[in-house]
Amino acid sequence: METISENRCFGGVQGVYSHDSAVTGGKMTFGLFLPEEAEHGSVPLLWYLSGLTCTHENAMTKAGAQAWAAEHGIALCFPDTSPRGEGVANDDAYDLGQGAGFYVNATQDPWKPHFQMWDYIAEELPRVVDHNFAVDPDRQSITGHSMGGHGALTLAMSLPGRYASVSAFSPIANPTQSDWGRKQLGAYLGSDEEAWKAHDSSLLMLDRGFDGSVLVDQGASDQFLELLKPEALAHAMAARRQDGAFRMQKGYDHSYFFVSTFMEEHVAFHAEALYAL
């Protein structure tokens, strides 16, 4: 593992690191914030999955999460959204290929050799972080924005017992029925739509729900509402009688101004779950 940078931040350290990934077949970069408490022992870990076009850097610099994580003594991990580099398949569109891994394991060419983002987030990167830093593998939660909200919700519901809590900002909530989903799931997983269902949080919510608490914030003035389809997830949570809350936030859009506004509440939500373990 290579240290790219480390900066003092709210009493802790905001680092950026890279490592060779056997899963994606190349070098991957991630950001990790460690609060001051990590100097004396292991701390809980909150994963933040970013959206389309993002790298590890977007949320790390725009979400304002470190201040609230420091307050609660929680580490934050900011993975990249896809493999990158020479030899990695890409597309001219912003919503497919590099920067748009969609948190799935691709089964189709040309994506299959590198686009194994489910295994990277669920298995490989947690091992790297646990091996190199003072984080507690038994106290983890997960959140994300847009495509990352989709990833956070699907991972949380598919890996019971892994995460104490899950939250999402403006998630792609019903990708099997949206152009932000059908395009990518078809490209990465093929034409069999049955295989897509494992990556649709609304369908997973109806089928199994989450064994902890869920918090979803959606901007009511989000310019991508027709692509996100939040009503499908809200309906599924109500039908499942899922513990948690789905909140429409009047006047807010899809930007990091929205995310940063509600980040304090999301970190506090996860801290309560993590420290209850």
Spell out the domains of the chain, with CATH numbers in brackets: 2-275 (3.40.50.1820)
Contact yes or no for 269/213 (Cβ under 8 A): yes
Distance between CA atoms of 10 and 68, rounded to whole angstroms?
Answer: 9
Q: Is 254 a catalytic residue?
A: yes
pLDDT of residue 71: 98
Taking residue 249's Cβ as centre, other Cβ atoms within 10 Å add up to 17
Backbone angles phi, psi at 114, to 5 degrees: -125, -30
Q: Which of 72, 145, 254, 270 is catalytic?
A: 254
Pick the closest to residue 147 from 17, 52, 38, 245 (CA basis).
52
Cα 71-74-77 angle, rounded to 5 deg: 125
Pick the closest to residue 167 from 47, 277, 75 (CA basis).
47
Structure tokens at 187: 């490209």
Q: Which of 21, 50, 141, 146 is catalytic?
A: 146
Contact yes or no for 166/153 (Cβ under 8 A): yes
pLDDT digits (tens, 9 = 90+) for 92-121: 999 999 999 999 999 999 999 999 999 999
pLDDT digits (tens, 9 = 90+) for 124-160: 999 999 999 999 999 999 999 999 999 999 999 999 9
Q: Is 82 a catalytic residue?
A: no
Q: Is 222 a catalytic residue?
A: yes
pTM of the entire predicted model: 0.98
Pick the closest to residue 173 from 29, 68, 51, 269 (CA basis).
51
Q: Which of 80, 200, 217, 222 is catalytic?
A: 222
Residue 93 burial (10 A CB sphere; 0-12, 13-18, 19+): exposed
pLDDT digits (tens, 9 = 90+) for 49-98: 999 999 999 999 999 999 999 999 999 999 999 999 999 999 999 999 99
